[in-house]
Amino acid sequence: MGELLSLRGVSKSFVRGGRSLPVLEDVSLEVAAGEIVAVEGSRYSGKTTLLRVAAGIVSPDRGEVWFGGHELTGLSNVRRERLLGSEIRWTDREGPGTKLKVRDAIALPLRLGRGRRKTKVIAEEALARVGVADCAGQRWEDLSYYEGVLAGLARGIGGRPRLLVIDDLLDALGLRRTLDVGDLLRSLVGELGCGVLMSVSDLGTALLADRVWSLRRGALTLVSDQAAVTDAEIIDFPDPDAARRGVGSRGVGS
């Protein structure tokens, strides 16, 4: 499997209250086609920023983001927007916030990448594929929590992307549904041949991935590799205080 997405030495800071706040520091990461990669971290650890940089939504201060042979930060806003409506799809928990029907809410972002009419058909096909065809005419705000997760996945696969970026969508589902969503995600990846980069907070959700990275204080540590890992004990999360104490991380990748 060749690499689809590659982040190389990416750094990103934000300015808050006149102070520079480093969020990502020299981060490198790769996702291949057919592969699910998870980034685990606590709230405000920078997971969403990492995913936004990977999707070309936010430009890094330093480093490169390569997708399918293109360096994303060098592309114009129009080219990046088209990619986000076609080859790269972003999905998260946020609804459109304007009381749109689910079908329209999924179709709208697809307009970024393609012309006109077909987007509603694509949205309906995607909803049917994840098993919630009957939600197409409902409003996003009226969906149950689990329906919202599945509709979020439908938003991700509409338009058959090469890279699916899932921000904080699959957590807190409980074991049974986490496994169901994992099976669904794995079969979607098989059908589309796409790569997946997702942020997670739950250990159970992290286990759905082929590789799990942990994001702590702006730095990534590889904590598990290969889908064969099914025993939670094998995953050895880094101790967030270890670096400060100078004893090093216990992570597999360290």
Partner 1 sequence: MLELRDLVKRYQVGSGEPILAVDGVSMKVAAGEFVALYGPSGSGKTTLLQLIDGTLRPDSGTVLVAGADICEMSRGEADDYRLRQLGIIGQPHNLIPGARAIVSASLKLLLTHGRKQGTPVVEGLLRELGLGDRMQHRTEELSMGERQRVLIAMALAIGPKLVLADEPTGSLDSHSSREVLGLLRRLCVKQGAAMLLVTHDPLVAGFADRVHQLCDGRLEEYRPDLLLVAPGSLREEL
Contact 109, 155 (CB under 8 A): yes
Pick one of 97, 176, 226, 244: the residue that binds partner 1 (CB under 8 A): 97
Q: Please work out the total of residues on this chain that contact partner 1, with binding judged by CB under 8 A.
A: 29
Which residues lie below 8 Å from residue 16, measured CB to CB, with a gap of 6+?
none
* Beta carbon nearer to partner 1, 81 or 125: 81
Annotate each residue in 100-119 with x if it binds partner 1 (CB under 8 A) or - if it does not, as one string: xx--x---xx-xx---x---
* Beta carbon nearer to partner 1, 104 or 236: 104
Please report whether residue 166 would count as binding partner 1 according to CB under 8 A. no
Taking the complex as a whole, how short is the minimal distance between the CB of residue 184 and partner 1, in angstroms? 23
In the range 47-86, which residues lie near partner 1 by CB under 8 A? Answer: 52, 55-58, 77-78, 80-81, 84
* Burial of residue 76, with CB atoms counted within 10 A of its CB: 0-12 exposed, 13-18 middle, 19 or more buried: exposed
Please report whether residue 131 would count as binding partner 1 according to CB under 8 A. no
Taking the complex as a whole, how short is the minimal distance between the CB of residue 84 and partner 1, in angstroms? 4
Q: State the pairing for strand pair 219-225/211-216.
A: antiparallel
Please report whether residue 96 would count as binding partner 1 according to CB under 8 A. yes
| Burial track 198-222 (b if 16+ CB lie within 10 A, e otherwise) | bbbbbebbbbbbbbbbbbbebbbbe
Please report whether residue 156 would count as binding partner 1 according to CB under 8 A. no
Please tell me the distance from the alpha carbon of residue 153 to that of residue 84, in angstroms, as a whole number: 15
Structure tokens at 154: 């439908």
DSSP state of 101: B
Binding site for partner 1 (CB under 8 A): 52, 55-58, 77-78, 80-81, 84, 90, 94-101, 104, 108-109, 111-112, 116, 137, 139, 141-142
